[in-house]
Copies of this chain bind each other. A is one copy, B any other.
Amino acid sequence: MARLRFQISMSLDGFVAGPNQSEENPLGEGGMQLHEWAFRLAAWREPHGEPGGEVNASTKVVEESLENIGATVMGRKMFGGSGAWGDDPWEGWWGEDPPFHTPVFIVTHHARPPVAKLGGTTFTFVTDGIESALEQARSAAGGKDVAVGGGASVAQQYMKAGLVDEMQIHLVPVLLGGGARLFDNLDGAKPGLECVGSVAAPGVTHLTYRVT
């Protein structure tokens, strides 16, 4: 059975974005620190069109996180734009050659036609909820896994609905002291979890949990 997989960087005090998030600073104050372990990697830089970078214990983790992904579901903020698309809608954060290389299904309240990009990434906008987005993604994935591309809000909705099969947390040794918590808004949902992998790497510990 193809799985719904989800990965995110989290501070040791449980935040996936810092305080005072805004359209201009979606990661909030200090939130960039959560991703520094990735920015330094060649394995992250190359698919994002950046030269250089290093190889370390995180490299294999990043490579494995991309393996066997056939489609991606994503929240509207992660795609980018205000959501009320208008006549000439913004085409998102991701540029002409987005790093997904799969069909991407965006959960939004506002319909718009699909957008095709280079490298196999297509953006399809789904207005009838997270279950529909997942169903369309599974269908497009051709038996491979579906990734939750983020952000935290859509990940929480999938967790709350009991639909996540595997969760990888990149635990970063920093305290943000405020912001968006990964495990808020679950309305008492408490999925059983088993830790099935742990990798120590520079600036991060990668923890993989299977939902039981």
A: residues with CB less than 8 A from B are 12-14, 169, 171, 173-177, 181-183, 186, 188, 190-191, 193-195, 197-198, 200, 204-205, 207, 209
* B198 & A174 in contact (Cβ 8 Å cutoff): no
Which of B175, B182, B194 is the one whose CB lies under 8 Å from A190?
B175
* A183 in contact with B173 given A12-B193, A195-B200, A200-B195 (CB within 8 Å): no
CB proximity of A164 to chain B, nearest CB, Å = 12
A-B contact pairs, 20 of them (CB 8 A): A12-B183, A12-B193, A12-B209, A13-B181, A13-B182, A13-B183, A14-B181, A14-B183, A171-B171, A173-B193, A173-B194, A173-B209, A174-B193, A175-B193, A176-B190, A177-B186, A197-B200, A198-B198, A205-B205, A205-B207
What residues of chain B lie closer than 8 Å to A14, measured between beta carbons?
Answer: 13-14, 181, 183
| Given A12-B183, A183-B12, A183-B13, A173-B195 contact (CB < 8 Å) | yes
